[in-house]
A and B are shown apart, each in its own frame.
Chain A
Amino acid sequence: MRKTLALLVASTALTATLGFAAWSMTRGPADAGSRPVAALSEDGTPALPLILISDDDDDDDDDNRKGFWRGHDDDDDDDCDDDDDDDEGGCRGGARNPAPAGSKLPPQNGLFGTGAPPQVQVN
């Protein structure tokens, strides 16, 4: 009985300690909400102006393209969730991009054994 009680006390103390630490981490400085984003630096350096960068391709180059992939942008970012108006640029049918090799096991389609994961190289 004593052992159980001691265990309970210890686990409660541990939980309280961890909980308090986590709760403290989630709280920002009291006045953080009132300061502009660019002025949150705590090291005393002057705040840099906030520059908003758009990743939308607004240039007209794509309009002149003929044939394959016309209207798609050239960047390599994962823009599956872009919100532009042209349906061609979004993910076809709302499909997500596939998981890259190494991040997930190959599909269980009966073609693969259960051995080594895929190895790939481009020369």
Chain B
Amino acid sequence: MKSLLAALALTTALTLPGLAAARPVTLTTTLSSYGGDGAYLALYVTDPSGAYAGSLWMAGHKSKYYEHLNDWYRATGGDTAQVDGITGASVGAGRTLEITLDLADALFDAGYTLHIDAAVEDMRDSPNEVAVPLTTAGAGTPVQGRRYVASFAYDM
């Protein structure tokens, strides 16, 4: 009985920090009515030194277009393994993409920045369309993109 209790206590102790170390975060990206085809979007994070830390989402399935997501492509070399399991369809003009991800707490208030690169067929590429520091205070505050993104916000 004692060993069972000890095992339960141990598993609880091991599980709780894991649950607390991540939280669901909703990333909401609304595109402007730019009058073109669906946009490819790369959402990724850089660390406090500005180095690529990893990708959060890729909107657009065809890897042959990823070269137009300039900064993301430069950072990753177009490595599609970076976006395995986090890739969805491209997003039409005027539409809103809402993604809920289980993100590590360590990303917030630690100097990390979320970036969005955007590209649309027959239109200009837009690297670093959005760059927003990940802070708890900044949650829920919409920011405007440079060309295609009408607004972006993260909520947690």
* Interface positions of A (Cβ within 8 A of B): 65-70, 72, 74, 78, 80, 88-93, 95-107, 109-123
Which residues of the other chain, B, contact A78 by a CB distance below 8 angstroms? 61-62
Asked if A66 contacts B122 (CB within 8 A), the reply is yes
Which residues of the other chain, A, contact B67 by a CB distance below 8 angstroms? 92
Q: Which of A67, A98, A110, A111 contacts B84 (CB 8 A)?
A: A98
Give chain A's interface secondary structure class: loop
Q: Which of B63, B84, B92, B120 contacts A68 (CB 8 A)?
A: B120
Instruction: Take A80-B63, A96-B80 as given contacts and tell me if A109 and B122 are in contact as well, using a CB distance cutoff of 8 Å.
Output: no
Asked if A68 contacts B124 (CB within 8 A), the reply is yes
Asked if B86 contacts A91 (CB within 8 A), the reply is no
Q: What is the distance, in angstroms, from B91's C-beta to the closest C-beta of chain A?
A: 6
Give chain B's interface secondary structure class: mixed
Q: How far apart sit A96 and B26, CA to CA, in the bound complex (Å)?
A: 28
Q: How far apart sit A114 and B121, CA to CA, in the bound complex (Å)?
A: 35
The 6 nearest A-B residue pairs measured at CB = A113-B22, A109-B54, A104-B85, A115-B102, A113-B102, A98-B80
Q: What is the distance, in angstroms, from A26's C-beta to the closest C-beta of chain B?
A: 34
Asked if B24 contacts A100 (CB within 8 A), the reply is no
